[in-house]
């Protein structure tokens, strides 16, 4: 893999990940952009202890542009974009409208008149990952070799963001489809470097620790063993990965893609595990699109170990889920899910696994 780091006109970093035969990336950003002035803030909810990011500047971000105005397509002489090159394989750049960013003024305080609500700069980093230069493609249409390039990019960025001051967790994810809320249709994902450990990760680490103390084994290891022995919810079982519908699935369509070996993050995967993942994940995505005979809207979320804590308790996994409960019906998060975080699924995991197989 060839890695090239460049700068955009406003100082943001862009990193290209290419096969060795690709041309050198030397194009300059021809746009006249003002310097970045991130001003994101975060406040801690005094009732839950959870941090909430407040990034009012994101209201002006690009919203559903026509294909001819896509900011993620390669640049042309007539129309410069976020990617200065005339073509690329994988490109990763700092988000122009970040929820978390470097360079924010340091200092902690409280919300005026609310001493029980701490506030702090939302220091971190947000990046955009362009999976391909082809606007009309998708992740599932990539070749296994190109998927491997994306995996290598995720691994590189996981390590790089984890080394930034203040970053406590790195989250790689993809949102696909308007039903999910996607506003740019070019195949892309994002990476967040959070300045705290996310609430869901904290809860999973507590659960893993309690299970380890009671049973002397990792809960995910036991889940994998039981799922593979049963086979009822397993979709794909390869040399290094198992894809299955979790027994307590929350979403009408939900698949976990889990390595057999306990590793904390993408960067810890071997070459063989990365190659195998490319084939397994493409198989999963093909089955998901075949479920309702239409491109499935989904969120693909990598659960990785935090940077500085809980790494021995973490087990890397990719969670792919969809809000589509039938070909033409969405699952809306109503009172129980949104208000109480108590999920109610309208289909059994076994039914979905059977259909995906």
Positions marked catalytic: 188
Q: Residue 116 class from Cβ within 10 Å (0-12 exposed, 13-18 middle, 19+ buried)?
A: exposed
Local structure of 27: helix, strand or coil: coil
For residues 218 and 250, give the distance between their C-alpha atoms in angstroms, rounded to a whole number: 22
* Residue appearing with tokens 């995505």: 285
**Measuring CA to CA, which residue among 210, 196, 231 is closest to residue 49?**
196
Q: What is the C-alpha to C-alpha distance for residues 26 and 6, in angstroms, rounded to an integer?
A: 8
69 burial class (0-12, 13-18, 19+ CB within 10 angstroms)? exposed
- What are the CA-CA distances from residue 156 to residues 65, 163, 321 (Å)? 30, 11, 25
Question: The tokens of 61 are what?
Answer: 């971000």
Cα–Cα distance measured from residue 107 to residue 81, given in angstroms and rounded to the nearest whole number: 35
Could you tell me where the DSSP H helices lie in the chain? 144-162, 199-215, 219-230, 271-291, 340, 349-356
Per-position DSSP letters for 224-286, written without gaps between them = HHHHHHH-SSEEEE-SSEEEE--TT--SSEEEEEEESS--SSGGG--HHHHHHHHHHHHHHHH
Q: Which residues pair with 169 in a beta bridge?
A: 194
Beta carbons of 253 and 352 less than 8 angstroms apart: yes
∠ Cα 240 241 242 (to 5°)? 140
């Amino acid at each position: 893999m060839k890695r090239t780091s460049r700068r955009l006109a406003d100082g943001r970093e862009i990193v290209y990940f290419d096969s060795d035969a690709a041309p050198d990336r030397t194009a300059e950003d021809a746009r006249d952009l003002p310097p970045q002035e991130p001003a994101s803030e975060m406040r801690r909810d005094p009732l839950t202890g959870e941090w909430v990011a407040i990034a009012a500047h994101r209201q002006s971000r690009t919203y559903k542009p026509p294909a001819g105005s896509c900011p993620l397509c390669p640049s042309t002489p007539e129309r410069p974009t976020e990617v200065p090159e005339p073509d690329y394989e994988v490109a990763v750049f700092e988000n122009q409208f970040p929820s978390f960013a470097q360079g924010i003024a340091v200092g902690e305080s409280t919300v005026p008149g609310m001493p029980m609500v701490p506030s702090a700069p939302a220091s971190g980093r947000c990046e955009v990952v362009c999976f391909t230069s082809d606007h009309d493609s998708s992740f599932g249409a990539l070749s296994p070799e190109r998927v491997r390039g994306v995996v290598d990019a995720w691994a590189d960025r996981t390590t790089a963001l984890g080394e930034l001051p203040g970053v406590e967790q790195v989250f790689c994810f993809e949102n696909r489809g308007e039903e999910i809320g996607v506003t740019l249709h070019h195949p892309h994902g994002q990476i967040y470097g959070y300045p705290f450990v996310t609430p869901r990760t904290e809860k999973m680490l507590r659960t893993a620790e309690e299970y380890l103390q009671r049973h002397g084994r990792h809960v995910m290891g036991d889940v994998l063993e039981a799922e593979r022995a049963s086979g009822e919810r397993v979709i794909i079982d390869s040399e290094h990965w198992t894809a299955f519908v979790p027994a307590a699935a929350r979403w009408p369509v939900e698949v976990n893609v889990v390595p057999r070996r306990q590793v904390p993050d993408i960067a810890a995967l071997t070459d063989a595990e990365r190659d195998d993942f490319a084939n397994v994940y493409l198989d999963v995505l093909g089955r998901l699109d075949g479920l309702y005979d239409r491109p499935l809207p989904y969120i693909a979320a990598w659960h990785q170990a935090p940077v500085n804590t809980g790494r021995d308790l973490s087990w890397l996994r990719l969670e792919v889920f969809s809000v589509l409960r039938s070909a033409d019906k969405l699952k809306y998060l109503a009172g129980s899910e949104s208000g109480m975080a108590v999920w109610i699924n309208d289909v059994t995991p076994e039914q979905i696994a059977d259909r995906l197989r």
